[in-house]
Amino acid sequence: MYISFHLYIAVICSFYISEARSDYYSILGVKKNATDREIEKAFRKKAKKLHPDANPGNEKAFAELSNAYEVLKDPSKRQTYDMHGEEGLKQEGPQGHPYQHYYGDGGHTFFSFEGFDFDDVFTHFNFGGGSKGGRREQQFQSNISFENTIVEEICPKTYKNSIKNIRVLNLYYFFMSNSRTCQAAHKGFVDTITKFKGALNVYALNCDKHSNFCNKTVRSVPHLIAHNNTSPDPVVFENDEYTLKLEIWLHKIMPSELVEIKDYKHLKDFIENQPITHVVSIVKKTLYLTLLKSLSVYVKSKIKIGYIRASNKELISNFNKSRTETARLYHIQDLESMDEKSIELNSENFSDVLLWLNLKQNEYKKKGVGTYKELTKALLDSGECGPKDNQFCFIFIKYGNRAEHSLHEELSNISKKYIQDAVKIRYISAANQHKFVSAFGLSSRCPAYEVCSKFIAFRGKRRKFKIMKSPLTATNVQKFIDDVITNLVSLDTILLHDPRIIDYSNDEF
């Protein structure tokens, strides 16, 4: 009985000692039903008194206060603590923000300052006002500012909204104002991303102001992630060198619609067989190739950008070019005019080049360049006059007779009158493309004494066509086009099969 009584007393004492040592509410001086606001207010009040700058020698007390606040300010941790005490928190792992290290002492958990700057701890809690120990603050004062840079400082709500609407690439930089590591990285980071002005959006989140969000999002600072327009998952910059390594990383992750042109045949094909206007760039350095990648995504539905490396001396000899250390873009209409107007792309004029490209695209539309041209396999494969094209396609089917020449010349002028209409006027050689003409019930052969040329209107998506019956004159062709697009003439014959085009450009003789 005596032993049992003493055992009972020991258990009770142990219980109360444990409770006293781990009562976070008592440490903060609040009731167990205190609101989040009351907890924060109590913490700030006590923290100012226990701050080691204001009251040296109280590091342990300040650490206990900080530890209690870190637990009680988090609803999930607070619930675990209320139900299971510190033992429950231990099972979930160390608490606090990414820079805190903890060690156990019996049933109590203490804050450790080992392994990081003491100043970083204080700035994490975003104290109002200066400390009485002003000497430390003078020695280590924040100089991180994104004023007059391309970086926009945002809040968590803006962060969540911004990743839903990405044009090309967004960067998100997490930092703390008084972190020496962040300060060391700051200039290199800003200088490097400034080279990509206009090509990407750059945002910064201050973890002093948004500690809860940072605790859930990042492990340490500085921390850089990227979101692009092709994937919902972020890409993490796994390096602490925010200059050249960052530049290389950006080149690697930048989305692109570029086409590399390696030889003259590829250049010829690129210029002659694009269904949209096209630009060729000569580029020397990786930085400007990265900028070109971004440009290509901005204009992908309107302009196709091909690039030639400056080291390809033989190919770039075709251009009457000015020497450049960056990148130069040429709006080339045909292979006979390789000295077309151009613009240089550098780190400061991305928006100017983007405007120039849009102007060239508008000029292309107005001039109708390439409106009347051969329908090639590349154009058909790109969707032009194909099974998904709902626009009117007018095809002049040639058999090589002399009588075709005058109409062939006239069609170039006629086509310019329909620039604003949803029509395409093309030609094709029947002798070489029997799989195309057979879709309209035509032969690829024609006796020498006959004129077999045809002018056809069709819509690939509807699989219907109409062959013009009138004599092949410029006046009749123009009237036929007008009647078709105004529905006075209906496309009433069904295609026998999908038209196909054979590409002979790779044949060797």
Residue 11 has what pLDDT?
A: 41
Distance CA 39, CA 62 (A): 15
Q: How far apart are CA 434 and CA 202, in angstroms?
A: 55
CA angle 486, 490, 493 (to 5 degrees): 150
Report the alpha-carbon distance of residue 154 to residue 152 in Å, rounded.
6
Statement to judge: residues 271 and 349 lie in one domain = yes
Q: Is residue 123 part of a domain?
A: no
What pLDDT does residue 107 have?
34
Q: Are residues 298 and 400 in the same domain?
A: no
Q: Are residues 79 and 25 in the same domain?
A: yes
Residues 55 and 159 in one domain: no
CATH of the domain at 68: 1.10.287.110
What's the domain count of the chain? 4
Q: What is the pLDDT of residue 142?
A: 58
**Which of 53-57's residues contact partners 24+ apart within 8 Å by CB, and which partners?**
53/122, 53/131, 53/132, 53/133, 53/136, 53/137, 54/131, 54/132, 54/133, 56/133
Q: Are residues 364 and 378 both part of a single domain?
A: no
Three-state secondary structure string covering 89-118? HHHHCCCCCCCCEEEEECCEEEEECCCCCH
| Contact in structure between 82 and 31 (CB atoms under 8 Å) | no
CA dihedral angle for residue 375, residue 377, residue 379, residue 382, rounded to 10 degrees: 150
Domain that holds residue 419: 373-494
Say if residue 272 is in the same domain as residue 347: yes
Query: CB–CB of 110/60 below 8 Å?
Result: yes
Is 475 part of any domain?
Answer: yes
Q: Are 430 and 444 a contacting pair, CB within 8 Å?
A: yes
Output the CA torsion 408→409→413→414 (10° steps).
Answer: -30
221 domain residue, yes or no: yes
The CATH number for 168's domain is 3.40.30.10
Which amino acid belongs to residue 351?
A: S
**End of a domain among 253, 276, 296?**
253
**CA pair distance 410, 432, nearest whole angstrom:** 23
Q: Locate tokens 């250049």: which residue?
A: 267
What pLDDT sits at residue 69?
Answer: 87
Q: Examine the domain organization and report whether 206 and 281 are in the same domain.
A: no
Residues 304 and 233 in one domain: no
Which pairs count as long-range contacts for 86-91, CB under 8 Å and 24+ apart, including other chains? Answer: 86/22
Rounded to whole angstroms, the Cα distance separating 308 from 327 reads 10
Q: Does a structural domain hold residue 348? A: yes
- 163 lies in the same domain as 268: no
Tell whether 174 and 242 lie within a shared domain.
Answer: yes
Q: Are strands 454-459 and 464-467 parallel, antiparallel or unpaired?
A: antiparallel
Amino acid 54: pLDDT:
63
Instruction: Name the domain boundary from 253, 273, 305.
Output: 253
* Domain end residue (candidates: 302, 333, 368): 368
- DSSP, res 197: B
Looking at the fold, whether 198 and 213 belong to one and the same domain comes out as yes
pTM for the predicted model, two decimal places: 0.54
Judgement on whether residues 248 and 270 belong to the same structural domain of the protein: no
> Tens digit of pLDDT per residue, the chain (509 long)?
444 444 444 444 444 434 444 589 999 899 999 998 888 888 888 887 777 656 677 778 888 888 888 888 888 888 888 888 887 777 665 444 333 333 333 333 333 333 333 344 444 444 333 333 443 434 445 568 999 999 999 999 999 999 998 999 999 999 998 888 999 999 999 999 999 999 999 999 999 999 999 999 998 899 999 999 888 899 999 998 999 999 999 999 999 999 999 999 999 888 876 667 789 999 989 999 999 999 999 998 889 999 999 999 999 888 866 567 889 998 886 666 565 678 999 999 999 999 999 888 777 665 544 478 899 988 888 788 888 887 889 999 999 888 888 898 899 888 888 876 768 899 999 999 999 999 999 999 998 888 899 999 999 988 999 999 999 999 999 999 999 988 899 999 999 999 999 887 654 43
Residue 147 within a domain = no
Q: How far apart are CA 428 and CA 416, in angstroms?
A: 19
Q: Does residue 341 lie in a domain region?
A: yes
The residue with tokens 């804050």 is: 111
User: Is residue 441 included in any domain, yes or no?
Assistant: yes
Residue 129 lies in a domain: no
Residue 23 CA: distances (Å) to CA of 18, 79, 104, 212: 8, 14, 16, 23
